[in-house]
Amino acid sequence: MVEVIGVVGAGFMGSGIAESAARAGVGVHLYEPQDDALARSDQRIADSVRRAVSRGKMSEDDATALRDRIHFTTSLEDLGPVQGVVEAIVEDPQAKGQVFATLDAALPDARFLASNTSSIPIAQIASWTHRPERVLGLHFFSPVPVMKLVEVVVALDTAEQAVEEAMAVAQQLGKHPIRTKDRAGFIVNMLLIPYLMAGVRMFEEGFASREDIDEGMKLGASHPMGPLELCDFIGLDVLYAVCDSLYEEFKRPEYAPPPLMKRMILAGKHGRKTGQGFYDYR
């Protein structure tokens, strides 16, 4: 059992991972270099916890204790005495590599250093450290406090001990870990991406309206969101990076990002987070 973990990156995913850990009684050191980004993360977690309290899912005292378990910091070197780290910064190999090089030097006792990446090889990230045996992927799903799955990504040099530690931590956070090798898409995105991109192509070809495509899958297959709604929810920029990594690795047309998606990204329509995607959220 871990008592305290580090989370690097306080965006949507990092905040969700920190919240899930704190909900499970685990202490969190949450790092982000900018104060305003940390303040936004604090607000995001406060809103989520307030919603749980207002729905009668959490007491006021538990909400206060949860928030007290999260310690915000702007210094990566001073992450504290954490037993493991999950990194969830931007999908940039260079930026992730530098974070892992710093963590490797600053945290000699951490049992594992994990990345939440969905598109960068773990082997590449591990190559920035002197101890690649403790580097692995812990791929969470959005929204993290709700989604039960974590993919545990075992890279070329990952030691079995690190895998077991990370699996145990995922369970401690109330998640269901599944084990996958280090190749593009892991398990879920390898299956999810062809489906989502088929939805985008169907819309792009003018075969059906976005509403009918989404209603079709919600009412006909019991999905909580239709494919275009889910693309907007995940973020088109994130999806593009995952498509690209899959296409680069396997060269199969079903993974190639459709031209419309690229144009939408260039136009700044990244989905919910920018206010516009397949739908308008403004």
Residues that bind ligand CAA (CB under 6 A): 48, 51, 55, 57, 118, 141-143, 145-147, 189, 224-225, 230, 234, 238, 242
Residues 42, 11: contact at Cβ < 8 Å? no
Nearer to ligand CAA, 17 or 242 (CB): 242
**CA R_g for the chain:** 19
Q: CA nearest 146: which of 170, 118, 174?
A: 174
Give the active site residue among 48, 115, 118, 245: 118
Nearer to ligand CAA, 49 or 126 (CB): 49
Give a three-class secondary structure readout of 51-64: HHHHCCCCCHHHHH
Which residues share a beta bridge with 115? 87, 137
Pairing between β-strand 149-154 and β-strand 135-140 as defined by DSSP bridges? antiparallel
Task: Please indicate whether residue 77 is annotated as part of the active site.
Answer: no
Task: Please indicate whether residue 189 is annotated as part of the active site.
Answer: yes
Backbone dihedral region of 235: left (phi > 0), alpha (psi from -120 to 50 degrees) or beta?
left
Give the active site residue among 91, 151, 165, 229: 151
Nearer to ligand CAA, 55 or 130 (CB): 55
Which parts of the chain fold into alpha helices (H)? Answer: 12-23, 35-54, 60-68, 93-106, 122-126, 160-172, 188-204, 210-221, 227-234, 236-250, 259-266
Nearer to ligand CAA, 76 or 236 (CB): 236
Nearer to ligand CAA, 48 or 158 (CB): 48
Give the active site residue among 41, 139, 165, 229: 139
| Smallest distance, ligand CAA to C-beta of residue 216, A | 16
| Smallest distance, ligand CAA to C-beta of residue 91, A | 10
Task: Please indicate whether residue 19 is annotated as part of the active site.
Answer: no
Residue 103 to residues 8, 76, 150, 155, Cα–Cα distance (Å): 10, 7, 22, 18
| Smallest distance, ligand CAA to C-beta of residue 254, A | 16
CA–CA distance, 220 with 199 (Å, rounded to integer): 14
CA–CA distance, 159 with 171 (Å, rounded to integer): 19
| Smallest distance, ligand CAA to C-beta of residue 140, A | 7
Nearer to ligand CAA, 83 or 118 (CB): 118
Residues 79, 88: contact at Cβ < 8 Å? no
| Smallest distance, ligand CAA to C-beta of residue 105, A | 29
| Smallest distance, ligand CAA to C-beta of residue 27, A | 20
Q: So which residues are the catalytic ones?
A: 118, 139, 151, 189
